[in-house]
Amino acid sequence: MRVSIIGGATGSGKTTMILDIAKYLNLKGEKIGVIVQETGEVDYDEKTLSKLGIKTKEVNSVCIPCSLDTDIRSNLLTIQKEFDPDTVFIETEETVLPHKLKADLERMALADTELLPSVVLINPKEFEMSADQLIEYTKKQIEGAEIICINKTELDTKEHITNVRKLVHALNPSAKILENPNFRDGKFLEMIVA
Ligand SMILES: Nc1nc2c(ncn2[C@@H]2O[C@H](COP(=O)(O)OP(=O)(O)OP(=O)(O)O)[C@@H](O)[C@H]2O)c(=O)[nH]1
Ligand SMILES: [Mg+2]
């Protein structure tokens, strides 16, 4: 079972991205699970998802990092036992650091589980243009992420996107930085779950 942790600010497009990848992988015959810490604007509609072969499991507690990790662990075990998906997405609450959660799950050494690179989504319009102005957890999310996706690029100017990219790169030179295209084809979606 592959586990992909996708984080970022509220409204950055996490659910929309996960649904796109889930649909894509599902068409390829994969079974998908989703664990969500907080329900946002776009919801994982149970009916639609079960038709796609996607099973959702809500995590009730938010913003208690220690017990949260435990909840996620038990939810992962349940989803693995009951549904046995090929890939599980964890949509984290906005203050969680995806790379930290990944490290915690790595330490738990879950059987038959592969942790995919941690992903942080950015809504460039909402992004501060100086590192000093960034909220501490946003800065830490970027510094620790393996993949950073600048999302909603079609709503912004090329110049601003370039500046966001420069700042993100300065904060984390080793991360893979992706810019979300207008149309997310399979090639792009594969990069998120590489
Ligand atoms: N233009 C544009 N809108 C997007 C894109 N991705 C998501 N949205 C919209 O942005 C809004 C928030 O998207 P969600 O997928 O709910 O974002 P989220 O990060 O899951 O939000 P929370 O769960 O509330 O933290 C919705 O209205 C989406 O339709 C995108 O790539 N481009
Ligand atoms: Mg969401």
Which ligand 1 atom is the nearest neighbour of the CA of 42? 16
The pLDDT assigned to 62 comes to 30
**Ligand 1 touching residue 124 (CB < 6 A):** no
Nearest to 9 by CA among 31, 33, 41: 41
Q: What percentage of the chain carries pLDDT values higher than 90? A: 57
Domains and their CATH numbers in the chain: 2-192 (3.40.50.300)
Look at ligand 1, atom 14, and give the residue with the nearest C-alpha.
13
Q: Which residues of 7-20 are buried (b: 16+ CB within 10 A; e: fewer)?
A: bbbebbbbbbbbbe
| 151 has a pLDDT exceeding 90 | yes
Q: Give, as residue ranges, everything with CB less than 5 Å from ion ligand 2.
A: 14-15, 40
**Ligand 1 touching residue 41 (CB < 6 A):** yes
DSSP string, 58-93: E----S-HHHHHHHHHHHHHHHHHHT--SEEEEE--
Which ligand 1 atom is the nearest neighbour of the CA of 94? 25
- Ligand nearest, relative to CA of residue 11: 1
Q: How far apart, in whole angstroms, are the C-alpha atoms of residue 11 and residue 93?
A: 11
Look at ligand 1, atom 13, and give the residue with the nearest C-alpha.
13
How large is the average pLDDT for residues 67-82? 78
The pLDDT assigned to 48 comes to 67
Nearest to 57 by CA among 12, 91, 17, 108: 91
The pLDDT assigned to 8 comes to 96
Coil, strand, or helix at residue 9?
A: coil
| 182 has a pLDDT exceeding 90 | no
How large is the average pLDDT for residues 18-38? 88
How many Cα neighbours within 13 Å face the side chain of 69? 16
| Confidence at 61, pLDDT banded by 50, 70, 90 | very low
| 70 has a pLDDT exceeding 80 | no
* pLDDT winner (highest mean) among 20-29, 126-135, 176-185: 176-185
Lowest mean pLDDT across 15-24, 73-82, 141-150, 154-163: 73-82
